[in-house]
Structure 1
Amino acid sequence: MKLSGTTASEIYECVREGVQTGSLQPGDSLPPVRELAEALGVNRNTVAAAYQRLVKVGIALTQGRHGTSICEPSHAGEQEGLNLDTALIDLADGNPDPDLLLDISRFTVSPWPRPYLYGDQTVLPELQKWGHEWFAPDCPPEFELELTHGAVDAIERLAAAQLVAGDKVVVEQPCFLGTINALRLAGMHAVGVPIDEDGMLPDALDMALKNGAQALLITPRAHNPSGCSLSVSRAEQIQRILEKYPNVLVIVDDHFALLAETPYHSVIPVSSGRWALIRSVSKALGPDLRLGFLACDVGTAQRLRSRLAPGMTWVSHILQVIMSRSLNDPSTFEMLELSRKRYAERRNRLRSLLSQNNIPSFPSSDGFNVWIPLEKDMRDVAFELAKRGWLVRLGSAFAVQSSPLAIRVTVSKLTDDLASAFVLDLKASL
């Protein structure tokens, strides 16, 4: 395709149209800046500005000496729970146990409040009150509360409100696949920082922030896929590092809060100018409830409200009524205590069986996943397990810069008998 234009905007639109019509395909190289500038009779800075804009919006990719080429289109990548039709025993879906979720029919029989209309408050007062009491011990002072359609929705909205395409966002390596997808589709560049059993490594985090990252997205408890939780000393180390970068957006994804066994340790310094703490009900009460609490500083709240404006994208008040009734019912927390106990038993049982068979696993402290590092190709192991009737999630689904050699096993529905059979089959597959 022959490129045209005399301004940066015209050159940009020419390339964009070529991609939309198929004249330019993913992987196609664009002419070098100097060569195109001479061909069009424009200044090199004009072409460079057009290319910079193409890179920023994710149409093109600059690869140094290898030049600039058209990117592959954004795609969602792997998602949780897409293996429901498999004949295999599914240990890959990342779902909670359906038998341990909220029976919402108990909270829909009472008379409904008045109909809610355009212009009503986006958050019911009773849910606002409950949320403030829940978050207050763990947030800097003067925070505000909003609702979103779950944790990943909250991350997407925060990224859209506070960041721009091309910004670097620090995440754990390995990283939850929903987070990777959300950042990729928003045009952000995820920067992976390694973890150990106490959480994100401080020195590597500091280096990533020094190199210009605009945001940190961190999981304080039940990290998915590893199951690690921040220790108090690690949280304090990270908080001290963040004190040096007060303008970095700090997003804390405490998605497992209602079920967490480990205590919450905050990494948000009082000096932070932009921060948010997210807590979802999906794992504890049901993914289909699509509701997440989001506490944040006043400035971030104001930006979010432009995307949660009354009459546009509020969380359904019907869901809010159900949630308010359930969270104010003591039986809900009795159910949560049972769920917490069952998930811990199943996770610890599998890790114990792995250890007895000399198969190492990551020292997870929370959640309902077990991360199993491997010494051989994970695809070979997964294939051997599939032949024996098991479906597991490959570590590549959680890759940021590099692909971890591991598999993730969801234990939420894994009974003792199934756990024993799985470990024997895994040992044979190794």
Structure 2
Amino acid sequence: MLLATQVRSRTAKGIAAEIGRLITSGELDVATRLPAIRALADELEVSPTTVQHAYQALAQSGLVIAQGKRGTVVRGAAESTRPPRYAASDKELMPLWDLTSGTPDPALLPDVGAALMSLAAQDTAILTSGYMEQPVLPDLEWELRRRWPFEPGAITVVDGALDAIDRLFRLTLRVGDRVLVENPTFPPVLDMIERAGAEIIGLPLDEHGIVPGSLRDALEMRPSLLVLQPRAQNPSGVSMTHERAEDLAAVLTGSSVLIIEDDHAGGITSASQVSLGSYLPDRVIRILSFSKAFGPDLRLAAVGGAADTIVRLDNARALGPGWSSRLLQHVLLYLLTDERALAQLANARAVYAHRRRSMVEALRREGFQIVGEDGINIWVPVANENEARIRLAMRDAGIAVALGSSFLSAPLPSEFIRITCSAISEGFTELAGAIAAAALPPRARTSRPAHPR
């Protein structure tokens, strides 16, 4: 089919609508490659920007996907299926040891009962009666600004870190844009980039964060976004050092790349706050999640940094939810300022650090080379991820782990699994031995060091 002959509109919205109807009707088969943006623009006698916007709209609706050098490909009618990397993490069995979740230990979450009861002492009509109030409670904004690692141009509150990332991607990404991400990184971020029709460029990590030379090389490809996790990186546990942040900021100076920092483990990480916003405040958006500290169901994250982007985000939300619940914002403010809640959080932070350290030491005794020193996740090299996952699941105890391939933004020379250690309170040696028996080749198991570090 010559696509240009089937498209009569000359507006981005019309072009997207007509191609969308060809896809949903089956006239354009799944896996069909759409014409290059410039080629279709020439045939339709419109600007490449018009076709680019049309392709972006199709990608956001889930009908097409940008596949780098392969171009833009028909995905098919949108289906109510889980994103591909979420589907890859689904468990077929209910294991005794579920090390896949990436979630905090419920027993270590601060008690929110007092925070909820504190609402009774408030004039809730002030919190609940207005549509046109500011999106953030003034006292909460003050507390957030006090905690921010750099002076933010603006701060808002949204419904969790992934909600923030999704909204920022929708504001800033166009079909064909290039996005720099860590390799490995959090799978939903990769799914969202692909859904937007953008191209993923993976940047290698070392024990200090993104490797500056790789970032310098990647900037030659003129990316539009850099997405990174500044501390307790998921899955590696790496935290960016002050020295590395300074080096990365020097590389980024002079570029126009917008930087999104996902501080997903705020509150439970032992690492200090390090931010590229200390050097490039007008180009950095930092997301501070409270899910690990106070529980996933709190559904709040703070977003602060470059004022123009934050204002655009708030304006876009005005056409939808408008704001995040001010009742929940009050609960969050209470938890951030209550001495008992803060003491419980400090205890959780210490327990998580002990559990991760104990698990890493046990794995190292078995011969595993583990990087990263923070957070609740451990990135474990294995001979074959699928074999390791199956063998662990079939053990008497039943151990579920996450496949490392779901976290990859670019190929790595070896395979990995990710384990979450937040709820492991004992049996570190036995668990490490089981993982080694399932995941390491025989030579590596027999040659493990007699005296661990």
Letter in 2 for 1:377: N
Q: Which residue of 2 aligns with 1:385?
A: 392
CA gap of 1:177–1:338, structure 2 versus 1, over 3 A, is: same
Once the two structures are superposed, residues 307-340 of structure 1 have per-residue CA deviations (whole angstroms, 9 ceiling, x without a partner) of 2339833110111111111211011111111111
Pairing 1:19–2:23 present: yes
Q: Which residue of 1 aligns with 2:197?
A: 187
Letter in 1 for 2:214: A
Using the TM superposition, give the Cα deviation of residue 71 of structure 1 relative to its aligned residue in structure 2, in angstroms: 3.7
Q: Which one of the candidate residues 315, 323, 337 is aligned to 1:314?
A: 323
Using the TM superposition, give the Cα deviation of residue 186 of structure 1 relative to its aligned residue in structure 2, in angstroms: 3.0
Letter in 2 for 1:28: T
Q: Which one of the candidate residues 344, 358, 365 is aligned to 2:367?
A: 358
Take 2:192 and 2:327, find their aligned partners in 1: how far apart are those partners?
26
Does the 8 A contact of 1:83 with 1:93 survive in 2?
A: no
Take 1:239 and 1:67, find their aligned partners in 2: how far apart are those partners?
32
Using the TM superposition, give the Cα deviation of residue 27 of structure 1 relative to its aligned residue in structure 2, in angstroms: 1.4
Does the 8 A contact of 2:15 with 2:54 survive in 1?
A: no
Letter in 2 for 1:151: A
Take 1:250 and 1:405, find their aligned partners in 2: how far apart are those partners?
29
Does the 8 A contact of 2:266 with 2:292 survive in 1?
A: no
**Under a length normalisation based on structure 1, what TM-score does the superposition of the two structures give?**
0.87
Take 2:323 and 2:106, find their aligned partners in 1: how far apart are those partners?
27
Q: Which residue of 2 aligns with 1:77?
A: 84
Q: Which residue of 2 aligns with 1:427?
A: 436
Take 2:406 and 2:115, find their aligned partners in 1: how far apart are those partners?
37
Q: Which residue of 2 aligns with 1:340?
A: 349
SS of match in other structure, 2:261: strand
Using the TM superposition, give the Cα deviation of residue 28 of structure 1 relative to its aligned residue in structure 2, in angstroms: 2.9
C-alpha RMSD of the superposition: 3.0
Take 1:11 and 1:162, find their aligned partners in 2: how far apart are those partners?
21
Q: Which residue of 1 aligns with 2:95?
A: 87
Take 1:289 and 1:85, find their aligned partners in 2: how far apart are those partners?
28
**Under a length normalisation based on structure 2, what TM-score does the superposition of the two structures give?**
0.83
Does the 8 A contact of 2:66 with 2:199 survive in 1?
A: no
Q: Which residue of 1 aligns with 2:219?
A: 209
Once the two structures are superposed, residues 261-297 of structure 1 have per-residue CA deviations (whole angstroms, 9 ceiling, x without a partner) of 1112222364554321111100111001011111112
CA gap of 1:338–1:310, structure 2 versus 1, over 3 A, is: farther
Take 2:409 and 2:290, find their aligned partners in 1: how far apart are those partners?
26
Pairing 1:373–2:381 present: yes
CA gap of 1:61–1:100, structure 2 versus 1, over 3 A, is: closer
Does the 8 A contact of 2:282 with 2:307 survive in 1?
A: no
Q: Which residue of 2 aligns with 1:414?
A: 424
Letter in 2 for 1:379: N
SS of match in other structure, 1:172: strand
Give the stretch that moved more between structures: 156-165 or 407-416.
156-165
CA gap of 1:12–1:325, structure 2 versus 1, over 3 A, is: closer
Take 2:363 and 2:317, find their aligned partners in 1: how far apart are those partners?
46
Pairing 1:279–2:288 present: yes
Q: Which residue of 1 aligns with 2:257?
A: 248
SS of match in other structure, 1:350: helix
Take 1:197 and 1:107, find their aligned partners in 2: how far apart are those partners?
38
- What residue ranges of structure 1 are gaps of 5+ in the alignment? none
Take 1:48 and 1:393, find their aligned partners in 2: how far apart are those partners?
45
Using the TM superposition, give the Cα deviation of residue 360 of structure 1 relative to its aligned residue in structure 2, in angstroms: 2.1
Superposition pairs for residues 22-421 of structure 1, below 5 Å? 22-29=26-33, 44=43, 46=45, 55-56=55-56, 57-58=58-59, 59=64, 69-71=73-75, 76-79=83-86, 83=91, 86-110=94-118, 111=120, 112-115=122-125, 116=128, 117-135=130-148, 138-139=149-150, 141=151, 143-245=153-255, 247-268=256-277, 270-271=279-280, 273-309=282-318, 312-361=321-370, 363-374=371-382, 376-388=383-395, 389-402=398-411, 405-417=415-427, 419-421=428-430
Using the TM superposition, give the Cα deviation of residue 23 of structure 1 relative to its aligned residue in structure 2, in angstroms: 2.6
Letter in 2 for 1:99: A
Does the 8 A contact of 1:145 with 1:294 survive in 2?
A: yes
Letter in 2 for 1:177: P
Does the 8 A contact of 1:275 with 1:300 survive in 2?
A: no
Using the TM superposition, give the Cα deviation of residue 391 of structure 1 relative to its aligned residue in structure 2, in angstroms: 0.3
Using the TM superposition, give the Cα deviation of residue 165 of structure 1 relative to its aligned residue in structure 2, in angstroms: 3.2
Using the TM superposition, give the Cα deviation of residue 15 of structure 1 relative to its aligned residue in structure 2, in angstroms: 3.2
Using the TM superposition, give the Cα deviation of residue 211 of structure 1 relative to its aligned residue in structure 2, in angstroms: 0.9
Take 1:77 and 1:405, find their aligned partners in 2: how far apart are those partners?
19
Take 1:353 and 1:73, find their aligned partners in 2: how far apart are those partners?
48
Take 1:326 and 1:61, find their aligned partners in 2: how far apart are those partners?
42
Take 2:37 and 2:211, find their aligned partners in 1: how far apart are those partners?
40
Once the two structures are superposed, residues 7-53 of structure 1 have per-residue CA deviations (whole angstroms, 9 ceiling, x without a partner) of 5747765432121122322213568999x99xxxx964649958756
Once the two structures are superposed, residues 214-272 of structure 1 have per-residue CA deviations (whole angstroms, 9 ceiling, x without a partner) of 11111110000000001222111001111121x21111111212122111222236455
Aligned length: 417
Letter in 2 for 1:250: I
- What residue ranges of structure 2 are gaps of 5+ in the alignment? 441-453
SS of match in other structure, 1:109: helix
Does the 8 A contact of 2:204 with 2:214 survive in 1?
A: yes
Letter in 2 for 1:307: A
Using the TM superposition, give the Cα deviation of residue 190 of structure 1 relative to its aligned residue in structure 2, in angstroms: 2.2
